[in-house]
Chain A
Amino acid sequence: MSALSAGDALAPQEYAVTRADLVRYAGASGDFNPIHWSDRVATSVALPGVIAHGMFTMALAARAVASWTDGAEVLELGCKFTNPVVVPDDDIGVVVRVAGTVKSVEDGRAAIALEVTCDGAKVLGMPKAVVRA
């Protein structure tokens, strides 16, 4: 992989998310919570509609990290789920954007601060990855 240096801004990645992606992720992960596929259930618990699995958004963040680091071993990964990614029932979906900045590189560990947004709003709180550098 190309060497990471503190202060590096990493090329933002954009990923389209549709209902079909949520269904596929549900099957792959085993998370069949109906708030991720049923508007009826989602609105019954006061959500605006079907929302993406937080872990799906986190998987997209990890995908960006892997693309920036050529698949470097991930040592830590974490975030808060601060705003839901609402995914409409159409063929267009929404776009999740993952940006990153290298915060530090020391002792063989590179810390990357992420910024994960959808329609300009941050959807993850303090998303961060630490990879082997």
Chain B
Amino acid sequence: MPVDAALVGKTFPPTRPYAVSEEKVREFATAAGTTYDGGPAPATFPIVLAFDAMNAFLAAEEIDLFRIVHGEQKFAYERPVVPGDVLTATLTVASLRQIGGNDIIGTASEVRDADGALVCSTTATLVHRAAA
């Protein structure tokens, strides 16, 4: 089932505020094989927020996560994420096209702190694979 083209330009509600803890950052760093002794989180940590926003988008549109493959990801950082941050992500559907029966969904998410200041802008291309 193709994704609804009317979604382009739609912004979804911000995710529930996420309190970044040192333990969670350590868990994330350890998963990529590195150690963590405080300070900035690894560069890809904001995906935790962006993924949360994507899940909410997929659930709202009844898109199965297992049909999604990641096509592209970009981050532009205003500052590193650090423990103590309380972050939200707001996702906008930026583009949508169909190639070979797959939907290519472009999304843009803004990760902001408790003061509303931008921490990171991230864009993702999601490939929604057609049912066989």
Task: Kindly list chain A residues whose C-beta atoms are within 8 Å of the C-beta of B129.
Answer: 45-46
Q: With A56-B32, A63-B32, A77-B44 as given contacts, are A34 and B66 in contact (CB-CB < 8 Å)?
A: yes
Determine the distance from Cα of A119 to Cα of B21 in the docked complex, in whole angstroms: 36
Determine the distance from Cα of A45 to Cα of B72 in the docked complex, in whole angstroms: 19
Task: Kindly list chain B residues whose C-beta atoms are within 8 Å of the C-beta of A35.
Answer: 66, 69
Q: What are the interface flags for B76-89 relative to A under an 8 Å C-beta threshold, 1 for contact and 0 otherwise?
A: 11001000000000
**Contact between B48 and A45, CB atoms less than 8 A apart:** no
Return the contact of B80 from the options A30, A53, A73, A84 (Cβ within 8 A).
A73
- In A23-54, which residues have CB < 8 Å from any B CB? 24-25, 27-35, 41, 44-47, 53-54
> A interface, how many residues as a size bin?
35 or more
| B67 on interface, CB distance cutoff 8 Å | yes
Task: Kindly list chain A residues whose C-beta atoms are within 8 Å of the C-beta of B43.
Answer: 62, 65-66, 74, 77, 129
Task: Kindly list chain B residues whose C-beta atoms are within 8 Å of the C-beta of A62.
Answer: 32, 42-44
Q: Residues of B within 8 Å of A, CB-based: how many? A: 35
| B51 on interface, CB distance cutoff 8 Å | yes
**Contact between A24 and B74, CB atoms less than 8 A apart:** no
Task: Kindly list chain A residues whose C-beta atoms are within 8 Å of the C-beta of B132.
Answer: 44-46
**Contact between B31 and A24, CB atoms less than 8 A apart:** yes
